[in-house]
Chains A and B, each alone.
Chain A
Amino acid sequence: MSKIYETVIGLEVHVELATKTKIFCSCSTAFGGAPNTHTCPVCTGMPGSLPVLNRQVVEYAMAVGIATNCKITRYCKFDRKNYFYPDNPQNYQISQLYLPICRDGGIEIETAAGKKTVGIHEIHMEEDAGKLVHDEWEDVSIVDYNRSGVPLIEIVSEPDMRSAEEVIAYLEKLRLIIQYLGASDCKLNEGSMRADVNLSVREAGAAYFGTRTEMKNLNSFKAIARAIEGERARQIELLEEGKQVIQETRRWDDNKETSHAMRSKEDAKDYRYFPEPDLVPVVISDEWIAQVRSRQPEMREEKMARYQTQYGLPAYDAGILTGDKTFADLFEAATEICGKPKKVSNWIMVETIRLLKENGMDPDQIQFSPENLAKIVRLADEGTVTNTVAKEVFELVFLKDIDPEAYIKEHGLSTVSDEGALRAAVEQVIRENPQSVEDYRNGKEKAIGFLVGQTMKAMKGKANPGMVNQLLRELL
């Protein structure tokens, strides 16, 4: 009999904070600047420059800590982590090793296996590194320090997860909490949220931990799930062959669905940490914690309850809309404009989600404005356009954020309620479909549906469906 193995997983999640400036200098954190335009002597490690801590970084870190049930460290400090790499102009990263800002928290996750709490060991503040662009043709790299000094928090979980499903549930919950707090947009594909997976296997029920590896380069939830499955299988195979798992950092290649060990020379994990002499300690008072706590926004559970009571939405709708901050914001803004919560909810839950899937997009890639969504809701609801037309126009709103009202006017898409035009169309459909007409006259009620459909088709979806129905019954 083969043994039964258990997977033990802990995560290190890096999140780029949504501050306007870097952690230790007043350079912009905006994306898309030309290389090195958002740099100064501090974030490029020039001799003699001194870092000054951004208060907002501390407050975001506290907010995330409070929302994840952590204890806030009243006296916390920064430490220097030393390593040489071209993305790091100081030759050290300012981070927190000994006294991180948050400790001993946890969040509850829910999977098919039930509810459980995943512990959070600590959250610390640190700075991001610059970016290296490797030249395809020549043996050179180009270094851009615009990201150098962008504030990060690293959220270190306890090794409490046992499956890819639990890992994804944990990450989704964490992302949602941070997005709700407005502390980060948490985009895995753009690197504003990055997860390193620490994984080991052991015989089910064993009290010891197996040797773990750390997996890097995971850019999507799917890649994370595949990497976990792949690494679990690799480690079990080694153990079954009587070999040892080596403690190492591995780089996941999602295209090949395999990982390879990163060379140990680059991976020499001897960072010779020491207390950062250029920064004074951060002392956090009860009053400051209370202040941050009082500013915490409405979180998902509260929002879900409010959507049901205030807007009368079914629990199902409330669950989906609050399951993503983009949906919740869009819903609230569009409802504010048009005053039709259930209709707005339907347009998000059905058409928007369908188009996201078809275009392989995530909700945070939604580009259309709540104004244009509200217009579609109103135009369809008032019968200015038929549902068919509304859906077609909405596709353009979704893709290009067009103004649906102007578009409908410009392309003459308003519902045709002109009786003369409709009567002519209905008469022609009756002439062209004698079989259906006969079926209907012989009592097949369903045949009228086909004739309505044919008329709508002839009118390019613009015919007033109620009037078509009425005219057909009258003429048959």
Chain B
Amino acid sequence: MANIISDETIEYIGILAKLELSEEEKERAKKDMSEMLAYMDQLNELDTDGVEPMSHIFPVSNVFREDVVTNTDGSKDTLFNAPEKKDGGFLVPKTIGS
């Protein structure tokens, strides 16, 4: 197992994902992630020298919209599943900073 996920890495990934993990959850995540990386290692066995990175499999480009407003008031649908709402907006725990 070349891919040992350290405690710091799990802590850091938790911060990025805004997740608070219990000790057992951290251990489980460490194990899962090591396995995922081991799978990726299999792909790394391929020689990709000189191969252009690909982000799309279809040879399609330049798909555009014209700049014309066709959407109407979408607030009802947008807020339909909001757990809490106030003054036409989503109500969330106070978030300060930027």
Contacts and interface: CB of A to CB of B under 8 A. Distances in A.
Nearest to B91: A140
A376 B98 CA distance: 47
A104 to B, nearest CB: 22
B40 interface: no
A262 B98 CA distance: 8
Given A26-B65, A35-B87, A283-B61, A216 B98 contact: yes
Given A35-B87, A132-B95, A281 B61 contact: yes
A217 B74 CA distance: 31
A77 B86 CA distance: 38
A282 interface: yes
Given A28-B71, A35-B89, A142-B89, A265 B94 contact: no
Contacts of A86: 90, 92, 95
Interface in A262-278: 262-263, 265-266, 268, 270, 272, 275-277
B46 interface: no
Most buried by A among B58, B86, B89: B89
A280 B63 contact: yes
A134 B94 CA distance: 7
Given A26-B71, A134-B96, A36 B18 contact: no
Nearest to B79: A36
23 contacts: A20-B68, A27-B71, A27-B74, A35-B75, A35-B87, A40-B71, A40-B77, A41-B77, A52-B64, A53-B64, A56-B67, A133-B89, A134-B96, A139-B94, A140-B91, A140-B92, A142-B86, A142-B92, A143-B91, A144-B89, A251-B97, A268-B15, A277-B56
Given A270-B16, A281-B56, A34 B78 contact: no
B36 to A, nearest CB: 15
A390 B64 CA distance: 53
B61 A55 contact: no
B70 A84 contact: no
Contacts of A277: 55-56
Given A26-B69, A143-B89, A272-B16, 13 more contacts: A20-B68, A21-B69, A35-B75, A37-B74, A39-B74, A53-B65, A84-B18, A141-B92, A141-B95, A142-B89, A143-B90, A143-B91, A282-B62
B78 A36 contact: yes
Contacts of B91: 140-143
A19 B66 CA distance: 10
B93 interface: yes
A47 B94 CA distance: 25
A183 to B, nearest CB: 12
A35 B68 contact: no
Given A134-B96, A140-B94, A39 B75 contact: yes
B7 to A, nearest CB: 17
Contacts of B50: none
B79 A54 contact: no
Contact of A37 (B61, B66, B73, B97): B73
A226 to B, nearest CB: 19
B64 A55 contact: yes
A19 B62 CA distance: 18
B15 A265 contact: yes
B51 interface: no
Interface string A116-141: 00000000000000001111001111
B2 interface: no
B12 to A, nearest CB: 8
Interface in A1-54: 19-21, 25-28, 34-41, 44, 52-54
A19 B61 CA distance: 22
A145 interface: yes
A145 B92 CA distance: 13
A169 interface: no
Given A35-B88, A36-B88, A54 B56 contact: no
A58 interface: yes
Given A40-B74, A44-B78, A281-B61, A26 B94 contact: no
A208 to B, nearest CB: 30
A251 to B, nearest CB: 7
Given A34-B88, A36-B74, A217 B98 contact: yes
Given A26-B69, A26-B70, A77-B55, A251 B89 contact: no
A77 B56 CA distance: 11
Contact of A142 (B63, B73, B87): B87
Most buried by B among A20, A143, A262, A275: A143
A85 interface: yes
